[in-house]
Structure formats: C-alpha cells, structure tokens
Amino acid sequence: TGEQTAEGSEFTRARDLWHSVPVDEIFPRSLSGDGAGPGGTDRTWVRIAVAPDGDCAAAFDPLLAKVLSPAGCERLLRATYVDATSSSVTTVGLVVTRTDRAAMKALHDRFERENLGDR
C-alpha cells in the first residue's frame, strides 16, 4: 500500500541520516536532567567524547548482538557524558538498523519484556 511504501521510505531515509546530521544534533553538547541528581536535584551532563561509528557485531556482548541481529544492526554511534561534579559518567548509544516499523516494535517489546535495557 501507499502507507507501507511511505513508511518504508521514511525508515530508509532515517537510516541514512547519521551520515549527514551534525554530531551536535545527534548527541547534544549538554543534557539536562530535572530532578535526576541526588535528593532530586537537577543535574547537567556535558559531552566529553564521541566515539567513531562502530560495527555492531564487535560492540555488544553475545546476547545483545543476538537480539539485535534480526533488526539488521548496521552501525553503533556513541557519546560519553560527565556531570558537573564528575561523579556520574555515562555513555549513550544510537543503533542504526535496516529494519521496518514492525520489527523495531518487536525489538522494543523484547527489550521491555526481558529488561535488556538494564544490562
């Protein structure tokens, strides 16, 4: 159908955006967490590094690599942030896949069901 074709082309376009979108749009220079600090204080994280894009097969432990495989994991983009007190450092990532909406929903549901995001 036309809707499926439009959806497919949107996924294709989005899949290639990481090549042309500025890194500051993918990973902002700073992130704010209202109430995310100790005692519910506000917290701000500053980006300290952006890793080169990486291959999915080498980036994840065996279970996550297996779970991501059906989605066609193509690239992993990562950035590391530190808070103002230097007591919290975190790395965030963006997985680029070659799948469709239904497969991404199935992947999301599996992550939720098996608590894979907490690894």
pLDDT of 7 reads 56
Single out the residue of 28, 20, 34, 119 nearest to residue 79, CA to CA.
28
**Phi, psi (rounded to 5 degrees) for 32:** -110, 140
| Angstrom distances, CA of residue 53 to CA of 29, 79, 95, 101 | 18, 10, 10, 23
Runs of H (alpha helix) within 39-113: 56-59, 62-68, 101-113
Tens of pLDDT along the chain (119 residues) come to 444 555 556 767 777 777 788 999 999 999 998 887 788 888 999 999 999 988 888 888 899 888 998 888 888 999 999 998 888 899 999 988 888 888 889 999 999 999 988 76
Provide the pairing of β-strand 89-96 with 75-83: antiparallel
Q: Please tell me the pTM assigned to this model.
A: 0.76
pLDDT of 60 reads 87
pLDDT of 90 reads 92
DSSP summary character for residue 53: P
